[in-house]
Structure 1
Amino acid sequence: MAISGCLVDGGFGRIKKLFKRSDCESLSQFADIVDKSARNNFPVLYRNENNDQTWKWYDWKSYLTRYFLQVKGIQKYHCFRFSAADKSAVFVKKRTDSEQIRVPLIRRNTEVLTTTFPEVIQPAGLEVVHGANIYTVTLENICVLHTKMPRARHTLKSDSRCMRTD
């Protein structure tokens, strides 16, 4: 039996399908849509109803670069093998019939600490310029929708660019 597509894409597809048929005006309504879209889909919100953080962002990149090396040219390799006998390296091949190359992963004279965690990254939020850009783009899209509606009177109090009075 052949499986086509990707299960992750299928999950997003189910969310998209239900979202198109739903009235969604808040984050909690969107979370309900995700939850109802499929048995395997469930929302994971950064903040809950009480505005408490439900999970944290960790600075994994700087933490891992202290202990591990980059695999140079990783995109040209297609076969990877890890060995319990040599835990400090990965064995790579460009093709299945090509020669295996040992690539070191752990930096020299480095002991990987498994008892520490990386630093927590605090979300920065939107910059004022970016927030203003989102407002402008959203307003332009609302104006387009309003001007396409027949025989309607529309005014947006906050901006005169979108006034329509038939």
Structure 2
Amino acid sequence: MQPVPYFTGHARCYVYSGFATIKKQSRRCDVSMLAHLSDVMNDSSNSNASVQYPQWQWEDWQAFLQPKFRALPGIRKYQYFRFEQRWPGFVFARERHESEKTKILLTSESGFVATEIPRTLTTAGL
């Protein structure tokens, strides 16, 4: 087995070493497009290879779910959450393991019927 090249700030591991070579290469290049980033990854080392997936479709879930659901009031104080099939639209929350559970309605008065899909967003950037 060959020794792993060590770069400052990275553990002695092949995966982290690969990230280190990409990081070193990217400091020397201007990356303004996805194709440039792919070239930087491929040129950084013989063992690094970029894989590009098809264009991703982003949906506007926040605008889609906001009229159908309510925000959970005081969500930061709860640590345990449970959903049950026999209580659709409700969440059972607890502040601590030994505290009493609170039943909270999450759906709005109109309810939630999954007959439509959220609108697709156009991506900006690279």
- In which range does the TM-score fall when normalised by the shorter chain? 0.5 to 0.7
RMSD across aligned positions (CA): 3.3
Correspondence for 1:107: 108
- The answer to which structure has the higher helix fraction is 1
Are residues 1:55 and 2:46 paired?
no
Q: Give yes or no for contact 2:68–2:110 (8 Å, CA) kept in 1.
A: no
Q: Structure 2 regions of 5+ residues with no counterpart?
A: 1-14
Q: What TM-score comes out, normalization by structure 2 length? A: 0.63
Q: Structure 1 regions of 5+ residues with no counterpart?
A: 1-11, 49-53, 127-166
> 1:103 is aligned with what amino acid?
I
Cα distance in structure 1, aligned partners of 2:52 and 2:80: 34
Deviation at 1:96? 0.3
Deviation at 1:14? 6.5
Q: Which is worse superposed, 22-31 or 78-87? A: 22-31
After TM superposition, the runs of 4+ consecutive aligned structure 1 residues lying more than 6 A away are none
Say if 1:15 and 1:77 are closer, same or farther in 2 by CA, change over 3 A: farther
Are residues 1:121 and 2:121 paired?
yes
Cα distance in structure 2, aligned partners of 1:104 and 1:14: 49
Deviation at 1:123? 3.3
Counting only pairs closer than 5 Å after superposition, residues 6-155 of structure 1 correspond to structure 2 as 16-22=19-25, 25-26=30-31, 27-31=34-38, 33=41, 36=48, 43-44=52-53, 54-110=55-111, 112-124=112-124
Structure with the larger RCO, 1 or 2 (CA within 8 Å, 6+ apart)? 2
Deviation at 1:72? 1.0
Q: What TM-score comes out, normalization by structure 1 length? A: 0.50
Cα distance in structure 2, aligned partners of 1:14 and 1:73: 43
Larger radius of gyration: 1
